[in-house]
Structure 1
Amino acid sequence: MTPEEEDIKRQPVVAMEIGSLSVSGSPRLAGADPVHVEAIVAVQGDLPPILVHRQTMRVIDGAHRIQAALRRGETTIAGRFFDGPEDEAFVLSVWLNVSHGLPLALADRKRAAERIAVSHPQWSHRRVAAVTGISPGTVAEIRRRVTGAAAPGEGRIGQDGRVRPLDSSAGRLLAGRLMTENPSLSLRQVAKAAAISPETARDVRNRLLSGAELVPARRVRGAAQPAARNTDRDRRALNLVRPGDRPEPMLDRSAVVERLIGDPALRYTDSGRNLLRLLMLHARWTKEWDTIVDNVPPHCTDVVTDLARQFADLWADFATRVGPGASVAS
């Protein structure tokens, strides 16, 4: 569970009059999806609390649950309040609708990125991308064309809350020197000392090994080519791959997990939520494997290795028991 989710969970649950709530300003431009509403109506038992912006009574998360409650003939619904600026409420609405439930359409996420790029100009491309569920490259393209989206000062705030310079040339050169003088330093240690991201530190290490320039030349020609790749990446994230396309495995896994999160049969049951938590851990942390491997303390390697193999065996047994052809207990 993320810190944001923990903060939300700490808020008390209260009964809210559905008639007092507003669903205007939602990042979902097309409104509620009738099929998803029907799926929620069919779920037995109480629905999870919705989230509402206290100052405006606008629904941050739970528009589909409200429609389902109305279909059931209910006039009140369980919910929690969020206290904060409207801009933060919108960011929270986008993040929640991207991270669980029925995924936002690509057009909705791009429109949300435009709004967030203007309201939070100090945020990095990656931080906006993490909230909206699109690639950092697409965020960069959006930011370039949106009026007033330029970041103030010389840096932007990343996902970890740290301010990093827009030009990482000095950090790359420092990282290269640190790696040359201290080969035993981990990527995370180098990244922290040089004030760059671990991903940038990894790129510097690869360039050192290959003999390439530590600071890549800025691309001027063919600027449309990265945009095309970003478009393909966003299509894969929505599972809109055309026949003949070759999807990237990690993105496909993330997209599959996103679709499972939107399945009420999993999301609204205890066992289903436990399974989703396990799958989300793998989907969200796959890109961090190298960093995790680099930072396993030497005295823990034997124990961690043994545990990893045991957990791999558990997943293999799980796949065998739930996969096609698995026997059903009588």
Structure 2
Amino acid sequence: MEINQQPVVEVELSSLRLSDSPRLAGESPEHVQALMAAQNPLPPITVHRPTMRVIDGFHRLRVARLQGAQRIAVTFFDGDEAEAFVLAVRLNVTHGLPLALADRKRAAERIIASHPLWSDRKVASVTGISPGTVGDIRRRTEWEPSPQDRRIGQDGRFRPLDGSAGRTLAGELLSENPDMSLRQVARAAGISPETVRDVRNRLRNGESPVVPQERRRQREDGDGAGVPARHGESGALRLARPGPRLRQAPAADRVVLVKQLTADPALRFTETGRNLLRLLTLHTLRKEEWDAIINSVPLHCGDIVVDLARQFADLWADFAMRVEEDVAQIG
């Protein structure tokens, strides 16, 4: 689906078809006017070569017509029509006039139908909504999968939706080999490192590595990882060297910890270190400040803010897991 390396050519405007846009409300006159006022040449549009249908660039095409142009710069895409729609959604989510939330949800529903093996997380990466929202859409529109069903994750690998067998094997490996890294266990058990992390935490709490079915909420990467249950069955497996659970630090403590990190030359004097410090500093607000921000979110922006917050939470969870694994390997 890579189009960056495709040559740019000029085609007749009259040869192009306008249909199947992921934008339910059609063109935005305001965006057309903004493009009309642009001083720099507009980027080429993307066109599905087999059908000459515009994949990305409806507004740019409209501008060209209003300006009386006969030809327009184009990059071609040669995949099938289902892939063309996925590309249209991906491009419209990542640049230009963003797709409305309703557009992205409708696009997710269509992509789930055309790519039923894609995991929720993979669909979410295309549509710009949270994996949880994709999962809700899938449950409303898809049959109940059998335990043997598998989905393709973002890494291109197939993983089973029912991860109970993988979780059980991961629990046995962790009990027998507590020094194995999350990724080593994940590869051996055929599940994701985040699922292994959840198994490890459950074992440390004396719980079964397998989340009870009635309490399982499938994670969105299609590998059977579940949100950790608040209460679980007692299990025979337990980590040989259980570690302490960290409590959430109060806001004042977080400020102190971030200030300590700010004084570390290894972070202060590198660009990536400074980026990390900036990100951490954003989260040192007091509870009252968080409450004020929550109360000020406009209702019409609520769904988008919720989706973004969940995506950022997923990124931080993955970040924590990978750093934790690196520290454990060094230790």
> Normalising to structure 1: TM-score of the pair?
0.66
The count of aligned residue pairs is 251
Q: How far apart are 1:154 and its partner, in Å?
A: 2.2
Please tell me whether the aligned partners of residues 46 and 75 of structure 2 are also in contact (alpha carbons under 8 angstroms): yes
Supply the AA of the counterpart residue of 1:95.
Answer: R
Partner residue of 2:120?
125
> 3-state SS of the aligned residue for 1:88?
helix
Partner residue of 1:319?
none
Residue from 135, 139, 154 that aligns with 1:140: 135
Partner residue of 2:278?
none
Partner residue of 2:171?
176
Please tell me whether the aligned partners of residues 188 and 291 of structure 1 are also in contact (alpha carbons under 8 angstroms): no
Q: Structure 1 291/13 Cα, relative in aligned 2: closer, same or farther at 3 Å?
A: farther
Please tell me whether the aligned partners of residues 22 and 89 of structure 2 are also in contact (alpha carbons under 8 angstroms): yes
Alpha-carbon distance between aligned partners in 2 of 1:21 and 1:149, rounded to the nearest angstrom:
41
Tell me which protein shows more helix as a share of its residues. Answer: 1
The percent of aligned pairs where both chains have the same amino acid is: 57
Partner residue of 2:4?
9
Please tell me whether the aligned partners of residues 91 and 131 of structure 1 are also in contact (alpha carbons under 8 angstroms): yes
Alpha-carbon distance between aligned partners in 1 of 2:66 and 2:157, rounded to the nearest angstrom:
46
Q: Deviations over 1:192-219 (max 9, x none)?
A: 2211122212211222222233212234
Residue from 293, 296, 300 that aligns with 2:323: 293
Alpha-carbon distance between aligned partners in 2 of 1:196 and 1:165, rounded to the nearest angstrom:
8
Is 1:162 the counterpart of 2:192? The answer is no
> 3-state SS of the aligned residue for 1:16?
strand
Q: Structure 1 149/84 Cα, relative in aligned 2: closer, same or farther at 3 Å?
A: farther
Q: How far apart are 1:41 and its partner, in Å?
A: 2.0
> 3-state SS of the aligned residue for 2:25?
coil
Please tell me whether the aligned partners of residues 143 and 150 of structure 1 are also in contact (alpha carbons under 8 angstroms): no
Supply the AA of the counterpart residue of 1:122.
Answer: L
Residue from 50, 53, 67 that aligns with 2:45: 50
> What runs of 5+ residues in structure 2 fail to find an aligned partner?
218-295
Please tell me whether the aligned partners of residues 194 and 318 of structure 2 are also in contact (alpha carbons under 8 angstroms): no
Q: Deviations over 1:124-160 (max 9, x none)?
A: 2222222222222322332233267968952111111
Q: Structure 1 25/132 Cα, relative in aligned 2: closer, same or farther at 3 Å?
A: same
Q: Structure 1 186/294 Cα, relative in aligned 2: closer, same or farther at 3 Å?
A: farther
Supply the AA of the counterpart residue of 2:158.
Answer: V
Please tell me whether the aligned partners of residues 117 and 149 of structure 1 are also in contact (alpha carbons under 8 angstroms): no
Supply the AA of the counterpart residue of 1:104.
Answer: L
Q: How far apart are 1:183 and its partner, in Å?
A: 2.4
Partner residue of 1:23?
18
Alpha-carbon distance between aligned partners in 2 of 1:42 and 1:153, rounded to the nearest angstrom:
55
Please tell me whether the aligned partners of residues 174 and 185 of structure 2 are also in contact (alpha carbons under 8 angstroms): yes
Q: Structure 1 205/101 Cα, relative in aligned 2: closer, same or farther at 3 Å?
A: farther
> 3-state SS of the aligned residue for 2:3?
helix
Supply the AA of the counterpart residue of 2:176.
Answer: E
> What runs of 5+ residues in structure 1 fail to find an aligned partner?
223-238, 256-282, 302-330
Query: 1:273-312 alignment to 2 at 5 Å?
Result: 286-294=316-324, 296=326
Residue from 72, 92, 97 that aligns with 1:77: 72
Alpha-carbon distance between aligned partners in 2 of 1:46 and 1:247, rounded to the nearest angstrom:
31
Q: How far apart are 1:44 and its partner, in Å?
A: 1.5
> 3-state SS of the aligned residue for 2:4?
helix
Q: Deviations over 1:216-237 (max 9, x none)?
A: 2234799xxxxxxxxxxxxxxx
Partner residue of 2:87?
92
Supply the AA of the counterpart residue of 1:175.
Answer: A
Q: How far apart are 1:14 and its partner, in Å?
A: 0.4
Please tell me whether the aligned partners of residues 147 and 160 of structure 2 are also in contact (alpha carbons under 8 angstroms): no
Q: Structure 1 204/93 Cα, relative in aligned 2: closer, same or farther at 3 Å?
A: same
> Normalising to structure 2: TM-score of the pair?
0.66
Supply the AA of the counterpart residue of 1:32.
Answer: E
Higher alpha-carbon Rg: 2
Q: How far apart are 1:75 and its partner, in Å?
A: 2.4
